[in-house]
Amino acid sequence: MLLGVNIDHVATVRNARGGVEPQPIEAAKICELLQVSSITTHLREDRRHIKDKDVEIISKTISTNLNLEMAVTDEMQQIALRIKPHSVCLVPEKRQEVTTEGGLDVAGQLEKITSFVKPLKDAGIEVSLFIDPSGEQVEASAKTGAQFIEMHTGSYANAFGTDKEQEEFLKLKNAAKLAQQLGLKVNAGHGLDYKNVKRMHEIGGLCELNIGHSIISRAIFVGLESAIEEMVELVR
Ligand code: PXP
């Protein structure tokens, strides 16, 4: 399995003082040096952490695959088509949420998502859909033309260590299997940390895990390089 590192919260810290430090591009350079498989930034509609300029600078400076997380909006599609990241991950977005809550409802907006995916794919961008691990969402995702799904691991992460853990874990395992049978490649992410990440190895054939908050949190105490290296070791 590969590790994609989400560096949004470097920008969260920077924005807390409205200044220039710490800079997401510096984090991206460390990720590149450590040869992580991708660097993820979520350009939110409200620009609460990563800003347009960050994405611009990272995409121009870094050769590691850039994965742009984005909402299904015309504005974001235009930005992606201009910047041409290696991949985009389509996520639902609500202004009030603290972080991405729940997956994209692909089944409920199949036509919209399908037509949104096409120009991105035609531009050579890999498309991933961030969905809850449900059969309905997986089956719908397979009809959109997207090459990847990213399974939302938030419910598993919240249930980790409780009597609900196994139930949530099995949802991920079954959804991954179904997706692979339908020809989709499968990533996973959200809420994964240095403990709960280990069970991802029990799910066959996952391509990449996208992890942000726990890595940036650990980096405060051990430095970003060590925090990434420790996670790479667990994910490998
Ligand atoms: N994947 C997606 C689609 C996300 O929205 C996020 C959070 O921005 C992550 C992965 C990373 O989640 P976390 O920061 O909890 O590791």
Model confidence at 210, pLDDT cuts 50, 70, 90, reads very high
How far is 21 from 34, CA to CA, in rounded Å? 21
The atom of ligand 1 lying closest to the CA of 191 is: 15
pTM, rounded to two decimals: 0.96
CB-ligand 1 contact for 150 (6 Å cutoff): yes
CATH topology of domain 2-235: TIM Barrel (3.20.20)
> Position of tokens 């430095």?
223
**d(CA 194, ligand 1 centre) in Å:** 15
Q: Which two tokens stand for residue 224?
A: 């970003």
Pocket probe mutation, ligand 1, options 7, 8, 40, max atoms within 8 Å of Cβ: 40
Per-residue pLDDT tens over the stretch 138-177? 999 999 999 999 999 999 999 999 999 999 999 999 999 9
Can you tell me the mean pLDDT for 62-75? 96
Is the distance from the beta carbon of residue 130 to the nearest atom of ligand 1 less than 6 Å? Answer: yes
CB-CB contact of 205 with 180 (8 Å): yes
Q: What is residue 13's three-state secondary structure?
A: helix
For ligand 1, the distance from its centroid to the CA atom of residue 181, given in whole angstroms, is 25
* Protein residue whose Cα sits closest to atom 9 of ligand 1: 190
- Return the domain boundaries, the chain: 2-235
Q: Does residue 128 line the site of ligand 1, with CB under 6 A?
A: no
